[in-house]
Structure 1
Amino acid sequence: MSPAYIFGGLLLGATAGVLSGIIGIGGGILLIPALAYMYGMSQLKAQGTSLAILLLPVGFFAVLPYYRDGQVDIKVAALVAIGFAVGGWFGGTWAQHLPAIVLRRGFAALLVIVAAKLFFTK
């Protein structure tokens, strides 16, 4: 694994963790598109890897069929999960100091941006 590969996974995890802590999202809405674009994964592999990232807190049984079919990248999942945990702690801490309107509008803006990207990308 190259340093860029490792750093990219940790940075993605930290970003998803911060967003999760601040506005309550980060899993599928951020990780799946990011895994597809940053790591060139198919939709299915990005979904399986996203589930593996969230495996301990959420999806042990959901990830098993993806894993059995070879649709999980364990290395990327582990790297992103580490960054996600650290970023989630920071994001959750920062969110306690932000006004509710900022959190709500930030969440809405992110949803619009992600929706537009998904809608207009072939």
Structure 2
Amino acid sequence: MNITLIVSLLIIGLLAGIFSGFMGVGGGVVMIPLMIMFLGYDQHEAQGLSLAVLAVPVTFIAAYTYHTGGHPVNWKFALIIAVCFVIGAWVGSKFAIKIDQDVLKKIFAVVLVVAAIKLFFGK
């Protein structure tokens, strides 16, 4: 690994962590676009690496910080959602690897735009 690659990985990790702790986003919204821009990954590679990063309980400390900071986290709900997330991620990945990366990138962009519009204009 050269220094540029190491710095890119550090920046991607730090930004994803900061945005995850700050707004609850990190993987898809931050890491995937940065991996495509800075690492030259295609959509499939970026999504796979993002999921690999999230396979480790990287956000537990941030969730615990919210919990101890007076914003209780319902750990039972979190566990139920996490189990379903694992199942859903497996099903979604089966579909994603069969889709052309250009089509997948466009679907990804549309999801981000729709989410941004809903957040911007929603209550």
TM-score norm. by structure 1 comes to 0.51
Equivalent residue letter for 1:87: G
Length, aligned pairs only: 74
Q: CA RMSD in A?
A: 2.7
Structure 2 unaligned runs (5+)?
A: 1-24, 30-53
Partners of 2:110 and 2:88 in 1: CA distance: 20
Residue 62 (1) aligns with residue 90 (2): no
Change in Cα spacing, 1:55 to 1:71, as seen in structure 2 (3 Å) is: farther
1:103 is matched with 104
Compare relative contact order (CA 8 Å, sep 6+) and give the higher one, 1 or 2: 1
CA drift of 1:74 comes to 1.2
Structure 2 partner of 1:22: none
| Structure 1 runs, 4 residues or longer, greater than 4 Å off | 25-29
Separation in 2 of the partners of 1:99 and 1:82? 28
For structure 1, which runs of at least 5 residues remain unmatched after alignment?
A: 1-24, 30-53
Q: Which has the larger radius of gyration?
A: 2
Q: Which residue of 2 aligns with 1:83?
A: 84
Percent identity reads 41
1:1-122 pair list within 5 angstroms:
57-68=57-68, 69-122=70-123
Shift of 1:60: 2.2
Note closer, same or farther for the CA distance 1:94–1:88 as it changes in structure 2 (3 Å cut): same
